[in-house]
Structure 1
Amino acid sequence: MYGIITIFAFAIVSSFIFALILRFTSLQEASLQYVITGISFIAIFTGGFISGGKGKQKGWMLGGLTGLLYVVVIFLFQYLGFDKLFSIDQLVYFVCYILIAMMGGILGVNMNSKSRTT
């Protein structure tokens, strides 16, 4: 749960910042598309990292479950709120989100491991 909470907290804060930037500057949403995508990947990675760090083992599974839970929440929001299914582009992004969360989980376990020697 810590990973999902981190992802959504990061998403809310970054959405607020980007909304302010778009509102008070002449920038368009299309010009920030890659920045927003990069920030979302960082948020997913961080959520997986925290999940793996808290779990202390099987980081790939904890990160993958964190990414999968995020994708399910977004799918339910999109389907129930907007009555739309995934597009192929979104499917690719969501598979990448799950893989990035898995990598974050693996690194979270390894960074917090007490068996490391220094």
Structure 2
Amino acid sequence: MKKMVQGVLGYGVGSIFVLMIMFAVFLALLLRFTSMDYQTLNQIALISGISILAFGGMLAAYKSEEKGWLSGGMTGLIFVMAMVLFQVIFENQWVSLPQLSYFGGLVLAAWLGGMIGVNLPRRTVKR
């Protein structure tokens, strides 16, 4: 159980936050220095968000080495709950219906990533 919590919180959610911040900076630079329209950036953000959550779920399940669906699902739920909490606190606005479908897609991506990550081959060290 300790390995799963460490995999989910340490590797899964941690890597998602780091990658999301890095990609937000990248998108801000694209918006500032190119003539790309808002709709294109929105599509790029959607695809990257789903990919990053799938990677985070995969990494969490790989590090926990068991129950990939649970590791990935917990990773996605913790991240989505943090996003909802930030929105409620800082924007003083509750979640809309389109956002709920987006958040559901993010949790689903992390869940599927966890299923893939637990089945990745492990490197063994010969002594």
Aligned partner of residue 111 in structure 1, secondary structure: coil
What amino acid sits opposite 1:23 in the alignment?
A: R
Unaligned runs of 5+ in 2: 1-8
Aligned length: 114
| Counterpart selection for 1:92 from 101, 108, 114 | 101
Q: CA deviation at 1:28?
A: 2.5
What's the % identity of the aligned pairs? 35
Question: Is 1:36 the counterpart of 2:41 in the alignment?
Answer: no
Measured against aligned partners, the alpha-carbon deviations of 1:59-97 in whole angstroms (never above 9, x if no partner) come to 000100000000110000000010111110010111111
Q: Which runs of 5+ in 1 are unaligned?
A: none
Taking structure 1 as the reference length, what is the TM-score of the superposition?
0.92
**4+ residue runs of structure 1 moved beyond 6 angstroms?**
none
Q: TM-score, normalised by structure 2?
A: 0.85
Letter in 1 for 2:20: A
Shift of 1:50: 0.4
Contact preservation (8 Å) 1:50, 1:105: yes
Which residue is 1:46 aligned to? 55
